[in-house]
Amino acid sequence: MFESAEIGHYVSKAQYKEQVPGLREALLEAHATLVTEKKFPVVVLISGEDGAGKGETIGVLYEWMDPRYLSTLAFEEPSDEERQRPSMWRFWRALPPKGRIGIFAGSWYSDPIRLRISGKLSAMELDARAEQINRFEAMLVNEGALVLKFWIHLSKDAQRARFESLQKDPLTAWRVTPWSWERLKTYDKLKTVSSHLLRMTNTAWAPWTIVEGVDDRYRSLTVGQVIQAALASKLASKDQTSTAVAPMVRVDTDGRNVLSELDMSLCLGEKEYKAQLGKLQGRLSVLARDPRFKSRSLVVAFEGADAAGKGGAIRRITAAMDARQFQVIPVAAPTEEERAQPHLWRFWRHLPRHNHMAIFDRTWYGRVLVERVEGFCTPADWKRAYSEINDFEHDLVEDGVIVLKFWLQISQEEQLRRFKEREEIAFKRFKITAEDWRNRDKWDAYQQAICEMVERTSTGEVPWTLVESNDKNYARIKILRTLCDRLEQALDASGGKTPTTRKRAKSTKKPKT
């Protein structure tokens, strides 16, 4: 893997002087176009061995490009706000928006490498991480990002020589610490682990560039040229790079599907409803104060046709809880800042911290429902969204978040009845819009989209709960009971501990890559 980066690459002063002005001009030009057009974000990973010149390379990029539109993202110890959320949250919040370049000094590769070296991750677990990384980067690329990954490499001898030369110069001696020499001892392990991980994550959509680190001029010129070429090529190209989407065939020849099989006549009398409501709200209120919930968090997703009763169901949940423990997130059109990010970004930003709950009124499934049916995104976009959503929910569950999702199903007749009723009752009037009426015209298309959504995203970890909602009483009780059951089950299973298979770094040392 690293062979061609150990042959002593070297650029002479004369060559460097000749090439830099042109490269710099081209880089500035491309950077300016990127900033002006705001068409895509650029994610640059600068990884590699210690002393290989990662910091210097970043410094050169700041010198050659416009520092005002560069951000360097460093990830040392996670803050407590980060520790209380899924491990990918810190990277999501740092993603550059369209038109900007984010330089990641440390990245989603740092933890897997460190944990594998220290033996806290098995070889198989490392491969599973590689697979997750590939899927994450595929999502970034499909969302339009240019992902450039650099590994600045030093041979063991070169690393030793580098530390020695840094130490000699009083201006750079501070950079060599006892911990640097420690690195030399684990050099071979790092080489084994990183070369394996690099091979596993060297994908068509986000390939690695391995750069020999010994010669400053060679290293700077190489990184600069690769960035310039990739940037110019993507700016010039009209097609968006994208990975293949797995097709799925839905067989529905007898006209039966998961929705048609629901018993829409299910209902609950007022007396029984009130009795159960009180009981379940009491149970939820106790569960929310369970000490085992202190290290967990809860995400509840509501989807359903207009007037299906999402708002009413949410109100019955929030009524049982302390308002300081939950947030309701009504999902409408994305804001300007959200549109400049991958489509899941606006949900990541609202993930609750430990001991808290987020209730989403409409969700990340909008992509495969309204955006699909109304043509707000391309077929390629919504088709790949199924697996992106599965990955998203898997990320949450793996880090101990309890995730529930409800589909509230009502019949077309019941929806019509509710629309008319709303128009008559003054203080409910505000809920009904012209758009609600329009959506009714596409009823069948929506039912198709819902069936496909359920089939492709109802996973063992996060199954869909389909709620027969023609009767509000029945629906609310079913939702509350499911919520209590699942919450209790998750807390019991964990014994208060996060049931995560994803190991997180606890070390106080700074990231290795």
Residues that bind its own copies (CB under 8 A): 24-25, 28-29, 32-33, 36, 55, 58-59, 62-63, 66-72, 74, 79-81, 103, 105, 171, 174, 282, 285, 289, 311, 314-315, 318-319, 322-324, 327-330, 335-337, 361, 426-427, 430
* Closer by beta carbon to its own copies, 116 or else 316: 316
User: At closest approach, how far in Å is the CB of 22 from its own copies?
Assistant: 9
Could you tell me which residues come within 8 angstroms of residue 267 by beta carbon, excluding any fewer than 6 positions away? 470, 471, 473, 474
* Closer by beta carbon to its own copies, 327 or else 387: 327
User: At closest approach, how far in Å is the CB of 62 from its own copies?
Assistant: 6
In angstroms, the CA 137 to CA 44 distance is 12
* Closer by beta carbon to its own copies, 61 or else 397: 61
User: At closest approach, how far in Å is the CB of 171 from its own copies?
Assistant: 7
Cα–Cα nearest to 304, from 468, 512, 76: 468
Beta strands in 372-419 (DSSP E): 401-409
Question: Hey, what's the torsion of the CAs at 473, 284, 326, 80, to 10 degrees?
Answer: -150
* Closer by beta carbon to its own copies, 55 or else 379: 55
User: At closest approach, how far in Å is the CB of 246 from its own copies?
Assistant: 35
* Closer by beta carbon to its own copies, 302 or else 464: 302
User: At closest approach, how far in Å is the CB of 499 from its own copies?
Assistant: 25
Which run of H or E residues covers position 466? strand 464-468
* Closer by beta carbon to its own copies, 160 or else 354: 354
* Closer by beta carbon to its own copies, 328 or else 377: 328
Cα–Cα nearest to 402, from 322, 503, 486, 331: 486
User: At closest approach, how far in Å is the CB of 57 from its own copies?
Assistant: 10
* Closer by beta carbon to its own copies, 3 or else 80: 80
Q: 3-state SS of 208-270?
A: EEEEECCCHHHHHHHHHHHHHHHHHHHHHCCCCCCCCCCCCCCCCCCCCCCCCCCCCCCCCCH
- Asked if residues 361 and 328 have their Cβ atoms less than 8 Å apart, the reply is yes
User: At closest approach, how far in Å is the CB of 82 from its own copies?
Assistant: 8
* Closer by beta carbon to its own copies, 36 or else 253: 36
User: At closest approach, how far in Å is the CB of 296 from its own copies?
Assistant: 18
How many CB atoms lie under 10 A from the CB of residue 460? 6
In angstroms, the CA 406 to CA 479 distance is 8
In angstroms, the CA 83 to CA 279 distance is 34
Cα–Cα nearest to 342, from 186, 138, 501, 164: 138
User: At closest approach, how far in Å is the CB of 12 from its own copies?
Assistant: 24
CA distances from 509 to 73, 110, 174, 291 (A): 17, 12, 17, 31
